Chain A
């Protein structure tokens, strides 16, 4: 396996980590409108991800930075080509980060409700747009001989990509509902489980449809295995959810995400961004990658840093492992007086 193949795998791992982790915090953001009935419940939801969402988001920054370093051509084509959708995602991430930090900083109900609305939309829109982006990456886009994207924004909104968007949106919402059931106590936990069942059934249909479509377009034997794992894990997650085995259910919804991302990357390889205009103009792991020297340095860095990151991020989840409910939300904090 050559270094650029290693880095293809590592980029896939980073996106997988991002979707696994930020997937559930996007989901929780969406649930603030779908599940929570009142302000204390919305606060419970927000606080289940409070200590970790920032660390989750760094997986995206690392995926971006690593793509820049390991596959500069891919980074350049992707981010200049998908300009406006990416801008929408960035705007959402800016507002979302500020919303979490600033929502409780003032007591007025108006102020808090506005930030809550912001959290809902800025979780929902990126959750949808990432699926659209990956639908396009895997499906291929109009790339010319200079590796420039020459399509329009309209081209990016094709049926396959839009279905991809619905898949990530529902899958993340399901993942978030399962996470909520795992992290809360009381009434909200029971309702999260019920909602997870409903969202999960819709997700199952969409995931199956999207992955089969991708498989038919560009899949091979390996991607078929990943597809089967993804769908089986989702079914198992639903069963575990019904049995009240919340830890298992969350792990399995995570496996669904891991296997789905793996399926997409497997059907992509050895391309990183296929061209629909001419197969020779596709960006591949060889023509888009950095020099072996850069890849070697990066490999050392990743080999040392990644286990450490997993270790201390894992520790964070352990420190904050307790379930929370409305009783853990200080009443004075509800009025905004908390510091």
Chain B
């Protein structure tokens, strides 16, 4: 019991809870900002009302979501100082810089222009108002990049030296921190996964409405946009995942060995689909494997040697002194599989959807539908199957919106827990990183307070999202269709109610 409630354990739980919770909102924020911006661009260019209605609809869901992303991000920044003060002292010289850059360059951008976008409908000319949402979108991507560069430095520290006298790591090459291959591939992977998340969210919500034959015009547009996003982002996620995997095999062999429950090095190494391990004995009792695939994933070669958990553990013991350098193997193993599985499932559903809803001219004449009707999904050029297939596809598609969220969460759990026992790989262990002056009671208090607050807010947020999803795209008003031509709005409108108010 004492160990379970040790400040380090509690601090780790808290870090995990706040990070995973924060990251439920972040990918949606990143992708919905860009998708909303895309829809609004389509409106500005074509002046078709369906695009404006779609913009307002997705924009609303985006705003409900970003509010949570922003407020949970505040805790992220300050918990380093609160729970991990020795970490902050040791790496602040390096880790603090990208964080400060994120605030100075990205957060200001995002938060200022989001205010302009929300309240600016009747205050800004069309194109300037459109530019605001693009600014928000750029801000979200920049923010993701800086924080991922900081995280990548924990996975694979570069551009630093250790100052023994001061007892800390010092930055020697900031450019290296920002542009090392871990940071680039992690940013690539995380951003494509974010778009997979937003695309799937769009597909799920659109499918929900199409199944009920409501708001067909906007939802057909959104469905196609979502499906295309899912397929492109899904492919990029897989490619970047492969790139990131290869980087990790070189830089963090223990993490990848754990991800595979590969106890002893093999040449060639198999990819394990299922394994049931016995951690004490250091072997798997049951395993289902594909020969050679792991070697290929690690090194692009079906016959390469891949070191196992026991090998890496021995090597690290020689390098860093006696100790256990193994992370939690079942978490790493299953986290890795769930990440890939849920991500791929979502991609698969997207791909099927894109094929099923392909352009009208591909369909036989008798199956073509009008612009405001729900399209039939045609698997074979057989009319009889179409309605059943359509119903089933919408049902499955609604569920897909949750899949990338699950995949994202497991992705982070895998990448952060797979790094254990290191906070900074090979440099600083997690147990050396906690705040020595913070009591068990304090960490426990903050964990209980924040976790219950998060739980309450999750219920509130989901209910609100559901309410606005169900409500569908709003009716357009006179003001929506005739935006101001001058910044600050027209003086004749001085006493008109604001287009948007809290």
Interfacial residues, chain A to chain B (CB-CB below 8 A): 43, 46-47, 50-55, 57-58, 61-62, 64-66, 68-73, 75-81, 83-84, 86-87, 90-91, 93-95, 97-98, 100-106, 146-150, 290-291, 293-294, 297-298, 301-302, 305-306, 309, 312-313, 316, 318-322, 324, 327-331, 333, 338-339
User: Is there contact, CB below 8 Å, between A301 and B105?
Assistant: yes
User: Is there contact, CB below 8 Å, between A105 and B71?
Assistant: no
User: Is there contact, CB below 8 Å, between B170 and A293?
Assistant: yes
B77 CB within 8 Å of chain A: yes
User: Is there contact, CB below 8 Å, between A338 and B111?
Assistant: no
Contacts of A316 in B (CB 8 A): 112, 115-116
Tell me, in angstroms, the Cα distance from A72 to B113 when the chains sit together: 30
Give me 22 A-to-B residue pairs in the complex whose CB atoms sit less than 8 angstroms apart, sorted by A's number: A51-B115, A53-B115, A57-B111, A62-B104, A64-B78, A65-B99, A66-B100, A69-B92, A69-B93, A72-B96, A73-B89, A76-B92, A87-B82, A97-B67, A97-B71, A98-B71, A101-B63, A291-B170, A293-B174, A298-B100, A305-B104, A321-B488
Tell me, in angstroms, the Cα distance from A51 to B117 when the chains sit together: 9
Contacts of B446 in A (CB 8 A): 83-84, 87
User: Is there contact, CB below 8 Å, between B74 and A312?
Assistant: no
A83 contacts which of B108, B438, B457, B498 (Cβ < 8 Å)? Answer: B438
Q: Using known A-B contacts A79-B82, A95-B453, A148-B436, determine if residue A104 contacts B497 with beta carbons closer than 8 Å.
A: no
Tell me, in angstroms, the Cα distance from A226 to B487 when the chains sit together: 38
Of the stretches B118-126, B266-274, B292-300, B345-353, the one at the interface is B118-126
Q: Using known A-B contacts A69-B92, A93-B71, A94-B71, determine if residue A61 contacts B77 with beta carbons closer than 8 Å.
A: yes
Greatest chain B CB density within 10 A among A61, A104, A333 is at A61
CB distance from B375 to the nearest CB of A (A): 27
Task: Indicate the size class of the contact surface on chain B.
Answer: 35 or more
User: Is there contact, CB below 8 Å, between B502 and A104?
Assistant: yes
User: Is there contact, CB below 8 Å, between A106 and B100?
Assistant: no
Tell me, in angstroms, the Cα distance from A68 to B88 when the chains sit together: 7
Which secondary structure characterizes the binding site on chain B? helix
Contacts beyond the supplied A79-B85, A87-B449, A291-B171: 6 A-B pairs with Cβ under 8 Å: A62-B100, A65-B100, A79-B80, A94-B75, A294-B94, A329-B501
Of residues 331 through 376 on chain B, the ones whose CB sits less than 8 Å from some CB of chain A are: none
Q: Using known A-B contacts A106-B464, A293-B171, A329-B498, determine if residue A50 contacts B119 with beta carbons closer than 8 Å.
A: yes
CB distance from A63 to the nearest CB of B (A): 8
User: Is there contact, CB below 8 Å, between A319 and B81?
Assistant: no
User: Is there contact, CB below 8 Å, between A98 and B457?
Assistant: yes
Tell me, in angstroms, the Cα distance from A242 to B105 when the chains sit together: 40
B119 contacts which of A86, A320, A333, A338 (Cβ < 8 Å)? Answer: A320
Q: Using known A-B contacts A95-B453, A301-B105, determine if residue A69 contacts B82 with beta carbons closer than 8 Å.
A: no
- What are the interface flags for B5-16 relative to A under an 8 Å C-beta threshold, 1 for contact and 0 otherwise? 000000000000
User: Is there contact, CB below 8 Å, between B105 and A319?
Assistant: no
Q: Using known A-B contacts A69-B92, A319-B488, determine if residue A293 contacts B172 with beta carbons closer than 8 Å.
A: yes
User: Is there contact, CB below 8 Å, between B68 and A98?
Assistant: yes
B437 contacts which of A55, A94, A148, A309 (Cβ < 8 Å)? Answer: A148
User: Is there contact, CB below 8 Å, between B82 and A339?
Assistant: no
CB distance from B483 to the nearest CB of A (A): 14
